[in-house]
Amino acid sequence: MKQIVQFLSQNKVDLAILWIRVLTGLGIMTHGSSKIFGGNMDGFINGVGNMGFPIPAFFGWLAALSEFVGGWMLVCGFGTRIAAVLLAGTMFVAAFIRHGDDPFSGKEKALTYLTLAGAAGILGGGKYSLDYLIAKRLRKA
């Protein structure tokens, strides 16, 4: 038990980063997968067009893929900062454009994901990520 407590104490920041990355990534992946695989991509693209985006199919797919692929990248800690920036951009649009006129409860989810993606972007992948393993290997080479 003492070893577990010591491990947790010595690795608390990296474990917190892992926690944020994995739970945020899994959560946002569900939103992307429901768009891509749920059969409502056309409706989503129409909504993107109604928000005034040019080339709504491009921006609709970009948003859906940023959620699904970006979420997976967060889970793995691969390209964490790039994925976080794309996700934060998507969530910014969701919170302030798509749900801009909604009450706080309507934009709360997008703001939460925006906050968590921002934290992941600032913190990076941490010690328990593919980013860390790749950087470690490149330093040795």
Contact of 120 with 19, CB cutoff 8 Å:
no
Q: Residues 82-127: pLDDT tens digits?
A: 999 999 999 999 999 999 999 999 999 999 999 999 999 999 999 9
Packing angle, helices 12-37 and 41-50, rounded to 10? 100
**pTM of the model as a whole:** 0.88
Domains of the chain by residue range = 56-141
pLDDT of residue 9: 83
**Tokens, residue 15:** 């474990």
Q: Residues 7-26: pLDDT tens digits?
A: 878 889 999 999 999 999 99
